[in-house]
Amino acid sequence: MIPVVAFVGRSGCGKTTLLTGVVAELARRGYRVAVIKHTPHQDVVTDAPGSDTARCWEAGAVETVLVTPERVARVRRQATEPPLEQVLAAITDVDCILVEGYKQSALPKLEVVRAACDPQPIPGLAGRIAFVTDLPALSATLPCLALDDSRAVADFLIRRFFAEAGA
* Nearest partner of 103 among 10, 165, 2, 3, judged by Cα: 10
pTM over 0.75: yes
Q: Does residue 125 fall inside a structural domain?
A: yes
* CATH number where 134 lies: 3.40.50.300
Q: Does residue 63 fall inside a structural domain?
A: no
Q: Does residue 64 fall inside a structural domain?
A: no
pLDDT at residue 47, rounded to an integer: 79
Q: Does residue 135 fall inside a structural domain?
A: yes
| Residue 26 domain boundaries | 4-41+82-165
pLDDT, tens digit, 9 for 90 and up, residues 132-157: 999 987 888 999 999 999 999 999 99
Ranges of the chain with pLDDT below 50:
167
What is the number of structural domains in the chain? 1
The residues with which 96 forms a beta bridge, in sequence order, are 33
